[in-house]
Structure 1
Amino acid sequence: MKAAIFSDPGKIAMQGDIPMPKAGPGEVIIKVEACGICGSDLAMYRTNAHRAGLNRVVNGLEIPGHEFAGTIMAVGDGVTDFQVGQKAVGVGMGGMAQYVPVPVNPYQLVAMPDGVSFVEAATTEPLADALQMVRLAEVQAGENVVVFGVGIIGLGVIQALKARTAPAGRIIAIDVSDSRLAMAKEVGATHTINPAREDVLKTVAAICGTQTAHMLVPPTDFPDVAVVIDCAGYIKHMKGDPPLQLALDMLRPAGGRIVCFGAYEGKFPIDFMPVINKQPTIRGSMGYAAEELAEALQLMASGKVDRRKLISNEFPLEQVQQAFETQANGVAIKVMLKPNAD
């Protein structure tokens, strides 16, 4: 079969002599119709970050891809809840291939409802990630929320905020890509900020107003931001303070929450005094609850969330290098590989 093989930063190519997988006990084989390029895939491609654990290794070759959708072609011993020919979403390693084995459990395999296309369904995992972040943030009605990084994950956070929680106050999207910021407005952000052109802290304060920290000497005003959801993490080549530092600086004086999801490509210095002064809650978020994988698909099927508009490009597996370069260009939102495209 054909599969994308990652070898070194900047080097990924299709190879056509990869052995076909076989369904082991408790597994199915999915014929992959669409596989998304994730931010963690991109970090691996750029700097070799997060390489371990992301890829399926076959004969010493590494196949990336962990968010995909397709048709079940074979079932292993003990599998009773899924059948050959059924459309399904898979979460696992090696999705940038024509066929991939997936363990049968509610975290990694879920049936596709009617009315959802393969490319939409391949965004199920990132939407489930977004649903978990919103759950962990515990957004209350009227609270102002800032979302750093509005690629597919951050846009999903905004969609989840609109579809799932009590009405937030202002939803501010921050990104260096104007096209992504435009999409953020389209899916529900009330305001956008491009840090390449604007002072983030001053602009956020102007949008949200301020609260005074009276316990500090002298008393100090901070933006009235209750929640920051960081989908950007730390990207080495980006200039300026990383989102986590800006998040600490912009939170209101007390009761603020930060949810960290974006990958970190390395270490960086940080001023931790706002943690002492403001006593925020900082939570990491990795993955999702099993029920959120199914919820993500139901939101698509019901029309409450439109994921099709977030698919910016589609490539056959033969053009995997071009697909990664497109995902890395700062303009694309979600690039899909179609391993079985004619």
Structure 2
Amino acid sequence: MPQTVKGVVAREKGAPVELVDIVVPDPGPGEAVVTVEACGVCHTDLHYREGGISDDFPFLLGHEAAGTVEAVGEGVTEVAPGDFVILNWRAVCGQCRACAKGKPWYCFDTHNADQKMTLTDGTELSPALGIGAFAEKTLVAAGQCTKVDPDAEAAAVGLLGCGVMAGFGAAVNTGQVDRGDSVAVIGCGGVGDAAIAGARIAGATTIIAVDVDDRKLEKARELGATHTVNSAQDDAVEKIRELTGGFGADVVIDAVGRPETYEQAFFARDLAGTVVLVGVPTPEMKVPELPLIEVFGRGGALKSSWYGDCLPSRDFPMLVDLYRQGRFDLDAFVTERIGLGDVEAAFEKMHGGDVLRSVVMIEGEQ
């Protein structure tokens, strides 16, 4: 039988979110219903509310989540009721040209649940990134569920569902940071800090954090940065070169996604170095001050990183193991734990730069 639960919905562009009753159908073929335990408040959710992703209102927000599988539909074999899972927005198809080439982390045909969750009046909801986890329960494609160690803290490991994985993967998967490398990370929010942590785990010996906020730079040091640069006070490119023997960093990660930060990343890398763009630009942004001769003359690679080029079935369990071993401090990304009714206030805190992540804790609200 369909279930009526509480969920956080954005009804129209720019309007405050609402905690309302939503209807979650029984899982159909290839689908799963998950009881959500924790879900991080990500900037992407705010972009949905502001109409920056699409205009398919109303949205059921939330996507950085962990919980327990309650029920599965016909044909589901990858997870079973009772499994503790992290939700992901890359349910690989296994059949597209990327998957056929053995590169499923680039899957071009990822999928979500076929059925729709609705408001009680039957209005269909658009789940954020195909997940919609600011809710007591949600319906997803079974491939969006990645089984991990059930003893892990849901508030921490749920963040692997988006921002932390994006940053960690930008360093390790896309940038392929190696032992002894120098790395610079521009932008020290949740994604940038995860890139710093990833670079440290990968064995980078010089890790330079760049931001305009000293509070964020201090947090970056806690997560593994060896040097910090306040780019509101110093020229970031000059400082990165100074800290790398005058050459520039082997890998520079732009976790902001603006033309000016991308130019900084480009000119702050060593010859044959790598630039990784993981910050998401808006459609109108362009990089006008990048001479083509410089692109040619510097060599190396200019890469974009989609979801940290992750494969959830491979990366999530590994990162949870690192967390459980005390080698990857996911707890450091959890600034506060809040309730379902506190999401709008969490959006306001984002603007002030006061949090890495507010995490909605849903256990006990059902």
Q: TM-score, normalised by structure 2?
A: 0.79
Matched, 1:67 2:64: yes
Amino acid in the other structure paired with 1:192: T
Matched, 1:307 2:325: no
Could you tell me how far apart the structure 1 residues matched to 2:189 and 2:350 are?
Answer: 10
SS at match of 2:335: strand
Q: How many angstroms does 1:43 deviate by? A: 3.5
SS at match of 1:25: coil
Q: How many angstroms does 1:81 deviate by? A: 4.0
Could you tell me how far apart the structure 1 residues matched to 2:21 and 2:47 are?
Answer: 26
SS at match of 1:84: coil
Contact 1:131 1:292 in 2 (8 A): no
Aligned pairs for 1:1-342 within 5 A: 1-45=5-49, 48-51=51-54, 61-92=58-89, 93-105=131-143, 108-125=144-161, 126-133=163-170, 134-163=172-201, 165=202, 167-211=203-247, 224-234=248-258, 242-252=260-270, 254-265=271-282, 266-273=284-291, 274-287=294-307, 288-290=310-312, 291-342=314-365
Which string of whole-angstrom CA distances, capped at 9 and with x for unpartnered residues, describes residues 205-249 of structure 1? 2222214xxxxxxxxxxxx21111111112xxxxxx621011112
* Residues 249 and 116 of structure 1, relative CA distance in 2, 3 Å threshold: same
Contact 1:29 1:99 in 2 (8 A): yes
Which string of whole-angstrom CA distances, capped at 9 and with x for unpartnered residues, describes residues 279-336 of structure 1? 2311111121231122222221222111112111222111211011112321211111
Give unpaired runs (5+ residues) of structure 2: 90-130
* Residues 315 and 21 of structure 1, relative CA distance in 2, 3 Å threshold: farther
Amino acid in the other structure paired with 1:84: P
Contact 2:169 2:195 in 1 (8 A): no
SS at match of 1:35: strand
Could you tell me how far apart the structure 1 residues matched to 2:31 and 2:182 are?
Answer: 44
Could you tell me how far apart the structure 1 residues matched to 2:204 and 2:225 are?
Answer: 10
Q: TM-score, normalised by structure 1?
A: 0.84
Q: How many angstroms does 1:114 deviate by? A: 3.9
Could you tell me how far apart the structure 2 residues matched to 1:242 and 1:43 are?
Answer: 21
Q: How many angstroms does 1:13 deviate by? A: 1.6
Could you tell me how far apart the structure 2 residues matched to 1:49 and 1:199 are?
Answer: 31
Q: How many angstroms does 1:9 deviate by? A: 4.7
* Residues 34 and 78 of structure 1, relative CA distance in 2, 3 Å threshold: same
Could you tell me how far apart the structure 2 residues matched to 1:314 and 1:51 are?
Answer: 28
Which segment is superposed worse, 170-179 or 36-45? Answer: 36-45
Contact 1:147 1:173 in 2 (8 A): yes
Which segment is superposed worse, 184-193 or 259-268? Answer: 259-268
Which string of whole-angstrom CA distances, capped at 9 and with x for unpartnered residues, describes residues 104-139 of structure 1? 22xx21123143111012112233333432222122
* Residues 102 and 161 of structure 1, relative CA distance in 2, 3 Å threshold: same
Contact 2:48 2:59 in 1 (8 A): no
Q: How many angstroms does 1:341 deviate by? A: 4.6
Could you tell me how far apart the structure 2 residues matched to 1:22 and 1:229 are?
Answer: 42
Could you tell me how far apart the structure 2 residues matched to 1:66 and 1:112 are?
Answer: 17
Which string of whole-angstrom CA distances, capped at 9 and with x for unpartnered residues, describes residues 194-213 of structure 1? 222222122222222214xx
Root mean square deviation, CA, Å: 2.1
Contact 1:144 1:168 in 2 (8 A): yes
Q: How many angstroms does 1:10 deviate by? A: 3.8
Could you tell me how far apart the structure 2 residues matched to 1:73 and 1:96 are?
Answer: 16
Amino acid in the other structure paired with 1:69: A
Contact 2:32 2:73 in 1 (8 A): yes
Q: How many angstroms does 1:140 deviate by? A: 3.6
* Residues 142 and 256 of structure 1, relative CA distance in 2, 3 Å threshold: same
Which string of whole-angstrom CA distances, capped at 9 and with x for unpartnered residues, describes residues 248-305 of structure 1? 12122x2011111111124134312231331231111112123112222222122211
Contact 1:159 1:305 in 2 (8 A): yes
* Residues 208 and 79 of structure 1, relative CA distance in 2, 3 Å threshold: same
Could you tell me how far apart the structure 2 residues matched to 1:143 and 1:159 are?
Answer: 14
* Residues 276 and 81 of structure 1, relative CA distance in 2, 3 Å threshold: closer
Could you tell me how far apart the structure 2 residues matched to 1:195 and 1:22 are?
Answer: 51
Which segment is superposed worse, 154-163 or 6-15? Answer: 6-15
